[in-house]
Structures are given as structure tokens and as C-alpha cells.
Structure 1
Amino acid sequence: MSWRGHLRLDYRLENQRTTALDRHEGPLRVLQRLYPEGDAICHHVLVHPPGGIVGGDELLIEATLDAGTHALITTPGATRFYRSAGPLATQTLRARVAAGARLEWLPLETIAYSGCLAANALHFDLAPGAQMIGWDLLALGLPAADLAFERGELQQTLSIGGRWLERGRISADDRVLLDSPLGWAGQRALATLWCASGNGFSDALREQLLEDARTCIAGLPLAAQAGASAADEGVVVLRALAPRTEALFTLARAVRAAWRQRLWALAECPPRLWAL
């Protein structure tokens, strides 16, 4: 049986506190709403009780952030696209961030199991004055369990309205993409991390954000497989490849902490569940 899930998150500022109204249909829930940094920043933990997404499932998350709000959204575990008998499994995020609002989209990794037929789409609309930090950590198969990504495909879409649009199709039988030094170079985990501004960054700030990312990269063993660039005057992107996601998560956390300090003068304050 296919599942259809829809979760809507509406963030509002009330007496300097970011509050959230959540409405759901089907298997998507808010596990917790936490305020470890005080009332201004709402940490949200999203859960998908079935534990994985199979062929025919359709999950939609919609987030709207009013002016002045700050939301950090994460998950307690990996998003898993399981083997499909034919139908496509889809997960879509649509986020609208108003002027002066801040969004941190920081879910744990996505795992594409061998045999999956999946589409994962992330769409962000940033008003002038809005900013965000986000990441996408992707693993093909389960290398630690010696379960390779041998069949199936994953379609990936990342977009920030008017500034960045990226679409890709990762097929298990595309050896050029997966094994060529111009593609995944034999690695099976990819991190894409970005920070973005609705009205662009100044030249000086953009260079500082790039330097922050490159400094974090330089001290790690995967430095030869990572790099940062400015996709647009308002988007800075880091990418890194590795055999597994653990090293990518370490890098992503370090860069996110540096960017958070640079953009907002805020300490890292990682969600507590990341330590579990």
C-alpha cells in the first residue's frame, strides 16, 4: 500500500518568540519543538513513522517562515528510499522564507537503496532579506553493510528561486557518472551544502563565506575530494565526496558552524539528537 503524507509548517513571530503551527495528513509528524537557544530560534524535529519511503509513496513538506522568524529543521534518522517494484517514490520540500527570516534545513542523510526508483526535490523561495543554510547528504547503497547500489535510480532537484537550479539523475548503471574522475570517482556518498541570501551577498561577505568553507575543508582527509564555489552572487555551495557519509557529516557540521557565526553571529548549538 502506498502512503501519501503532507506536513505543513507555518512559523510566526509572537512577542519575539518563533512559534509554529503544524498540520499533517498521513505519515509525517513533528516529533518535538525545542528552544535550546532561547525563544527566537525554533528547533524542529520531523519524523516519518513508517521508517522508509517505497515505490508509490508521496511525501510533501511545506514550510512558510514569516518575517523575523528563525527555524532549524532536522530529522532523528536517515531518509531511506527502499527498493521499488515499479512506481516512483517521491519526497518534496517547498519552503518560503520572508524578509528577515532565517531557515536552517539540516536533515540527516538520504540513503538510496539498491533497486529504488526515487525523486527527491528541494525548493526554496527566499524573499529579499531572507537567508538560509542547508545541506543534502546522499548515500548510494549501504557500503558499511556491503550492500552496493546495483540497480535503480534517484532523481535529485535543488532550487533557490531565481538564483540556483540543479537537476540530476543518478542511475546505478551509469558507470561513467559513478566511477569517472569527472563524476563520483568511485565514491558512494555526496554532500551538498549551501548558504543563500534573497538579495545576494556583498563581494566581501561572499569571499569570507568561501574562505570559511575552504578552511574547514583543508584540515580533513577528504580535502582532495571537496570544494566550494559561488553558484550565484547570493549562493555559496560546497560539495564533497567520500566512501560513506560519516566524514561528510563532520565536514558539513564544521562549515555550517562557521557560516552561522559569519552570517548571524550565532554559536553552533547542534541539535541534541545529532549526538545520539
Structure 2
Amino acid sequence: MGWHGHLTLNYRHEAPRTVVHDRHDGPLRVLASLHPEGPGVCHHVLVHPPGGIVGGDRLDIAVHVGPQAHALITTPGATRFYRSAGDTAEQHLVARLSPQARLEWLPLETIAYSGTRSVNHLRFELAPGAEMIGWDLLALGLPASNEPFVQGSFEQQIELPGVWLERGVLDAQDPHTARLLDSPLGWNGRRVLATMWWGSGEALAPAQREALLDAARQCIEASPLRDQAGVTAADERLVVLRTLAERTEPAQALLAAVWAAWREVGWGLPACPPRVWKT
């Protein structure tokens, strides 16, 4: 029998603060609400005390951000999908943003261990006027420890309904997976893939969309990953950045740089990195 965890976060704006009501069941919770940049933005660190997700575990996270509220959610360390004896490990996030709500979904990396059987689904529903910054940083195996991803499977889905649906399944036993990971038309031998997006519940103004693209391109040009990174506006409500890397650290540094630039360009807010990123 696996361990099932449920966490519900309801953010609301009570001028001038963003406050939250949370409810949890099982090994999943948030630490105390923090307001390091003023009362309007609520920072939360999402913790999973067991330290990893194994076969049979299921984590369900439901987030609602009310009108005018602004939430930033991160994690204290990597999300680890460990080797499975046969059952699937699952994590499901559904986030709903009301008009004029803002969400920053900024977890640290996800590590898919060799031998895992795991599913990671992320769904973000944005009402008109809502905006978000999100990222996902996926590392396959532990190459630095000579533990490559050679067994198991990892399924991931990122969805902004009506705007963007991305689903991929990496099955280490499928010969096509090896071609995908090693081909220059695929992962090109890298084992870290970072995806970052700015999402909006309505069409971005052309000037704002171009400003977001330009800001990301400037960060990419200054990054050692500039030859493996790119950014595009796949939809009038979406800007997506991707990069490949051999290790998580340079990819994380690029994401953090773009996050800071997008905050300034899109919301007029200076970067306020969560303190847990430095520990």
C-alpha cells in the first residue's frame, strides 16, 4: 500500500494581504506563510517529509488563487521519484486562478531515478486577467553518481486548458527513447530538460509579449546554455522557454534569471528569491 497525500491551498486577497487557508491529509504540507516582499505576495514552501515518492504513493495538490491574490510556491529541495517495485508513483497538481490572480509555481528540480514508474501531471486553469510564471526542471537518473536512467518510465503532462497541452512518456525499455535522448534532434545526450512559461488567461498585448521574449533572450545570451536554449510565443496567451543541460545547476540559474526578468517586465516587481533556494 502506498502513501496518499492531499493538500489544498486557498489564497485570497484581504487588503492589503494575501492570506491562505490550507488543509492537508498525509505527508504533504506547507510551512508557515511568509511575506518577505510585503503583504501582497504570499510565499509558501511545499514540503513532503518522507523525502521522495515511491511506487504506490500518490500526492494530490489543489491550489486556488482568488481575485487580486498573489502566491509563490516553491520546494526546499528536489522532488524525487524513486525506484519502484512495480507500482506507479503519482503526483497531480491542479491550480485554478481567478480574474486578476497571480501564481508563481517554482519548485526545485524533479529527479526521475532509474527504475522509477512515475507520473507527474500539472494543470493550470487561468481565468481572464489571471497570470502566472511556472517552471519545471526534470533530471533523468543520477549521472554524477554513475546511475543513468536505463530502467523504468516517467510520464509528464503540463496543461493550460485551451492553450497548451504537453505530454511525454519516457520508457527506458523502448528503443525509441534512447534515440530521443541521444539524437541531436532530441535531448542531444543531455539528461536535464527545463521548461518555463508565462501564462495568461487572455491574449497578451503584443508589446508585453515582445518584452517577455526579449527579456528571456537576453538572459539566454548571457547563459552558458545559450546554444541549448530557446524561447517562443506558442500562443497569444503563452510564452515558453526551454533548455537542455548536463546538470541541473546551470539550468536552474537560467530559469532564475528569466524569472527575475519576467517579474520586472510583466509585473513591475523586483526579484525576491525564496530564502530556501540558498540552503
Q: Same fold (TM over 0.5)?
A: yes
Percentage of pairs with the same residue: 61
Aligned residue for 2:40?
40
Aligned residue for 2:229?
226
Between the aligned partners of 1:205 and 1:159, the Cα distance in structure 2 is 22
Aligned residue for 1:178?
181
SS of the residue corresponding to residue 181 of structure 2 reads helix
For each residue in 1:24-83, what CA deviation from the matched residue of structure 2 results, as whole angstroms up to 9, or x when unmatched?
Answer: 011101123110011100000010011100011110000001100000000001000000
Aligned residue for 1:64?
64
Where in structure 1 are there 5+ consecutive unaligned residues? none
Where in structure 2 are there 5+ consecutive unaligned residues? none
Structure 1 residue identity aligned to 2:117: L
Runs of 4+ in structure 1 over 6 Å off: none
Could you tell me how far 1:171 is from its partner in structure 2?
A: 2.0
Aligned residue for 1:135?
135
Aligned residue for 2:9?
9
User: Is 2:207 the partner of 1:204?
Assistant: yes
Aligned residue for 2:267?
264
Aligned residue for 1:249?
252
Between the aligned partners of 1:45 and 1:131, the Cα distance in structure 2 is 20
Between the aligned partners of 1:273 and 1:248, the Cα distance in structure 2 is 18
Between the aligned partners of 2:234 and 2:88, the Cα distance in structure 1 is 30
Q: 1:94, 1:122 within 8 Å by CA — same for their partners in 2?
A: yes
Structure 2 residue identity aligned to 1:125: E
Structure 2 residue identity aligned to 1:114: S
Q: 1:151, 1:172 within 8 Å by CA — same for their partners in 2?
A: yes
Between the aligned partners of 1:139 and 1:131, the Cα distance in structure 2 is 27
Aligned residue for 1:164?
164
Between the aligned partners of 1:101 and 1:121, the Cα distance in structure 2 is 22
Between the aligned partners of 1:222 and 1:146, the Cα distance in structure 2 is 23
Between the aligned partners of 1:249 and 1:19, the Cα distance in structure 2 is 28
Q: 1:135, 1:192 within 8 Å by CA — same for their partners in 2?
A: yes
Q: 1:32, 1:46 within 8 Å by CA — same for their partners in 2?
A: no
Aligned residue for 1:114?
114
Aligned residue for 2:216?
213
Aligned residue for 1:78?
78
Aligned residue for 1:145?
145
Q: 1:196, 1:235 within 8 Å by CA — same for their partners in 2?
A: yes
Could you tell me how far 1:84 is from its partner in structure 2?
A: 0.6
Per the normalisation by structure 1, the TM-score is 0.98
Per mean C-alpha deviation after superposition, the further-off stretch among 41-50 and 24-33 is: 24-33
Aligned residue for 1:194?
197
Aligned residue for 2:99?
99
Aligned residue for 1:18?
18
Could you tell me how far 1:111 is from its partner in structure 2?
A: 0.1
SS of the residue corresponding to residue 35 of structure 1 reads coil
Structure 2 residue identity aligned to 1:121: H
Between the aligned partners of 2:216 and 2:15, the Cα distance in structure 1 is 35
Aligned pair count reads: 276
For each residue in 1:184-205, what CA deviation from the matched residue of structure 2 results, as whole angstroms up to 9, or x when unmatched?
Answer: 1100001000001101211221
Between the aligned partners of 1:247 and 1:171, the Cα distance in structure 2 is 26
SS of the residue corresponding to residue 73 of structure 2 reads strand
The equivalent position to 1:273 in structure 2, one of 252, 271, 276, is: 276
Could you tell me how far 1:172 is from its partner in structure 2?
A: 2.1
Per the normalisation by structure 2, the TM-score is 0.97
Between the aligned partners of 1:180 and 1:242, the Cα distance in structure 2 is 14
Structure 2 residue identity aligned to 1:201: L
Aligned residue for 1:236?
239
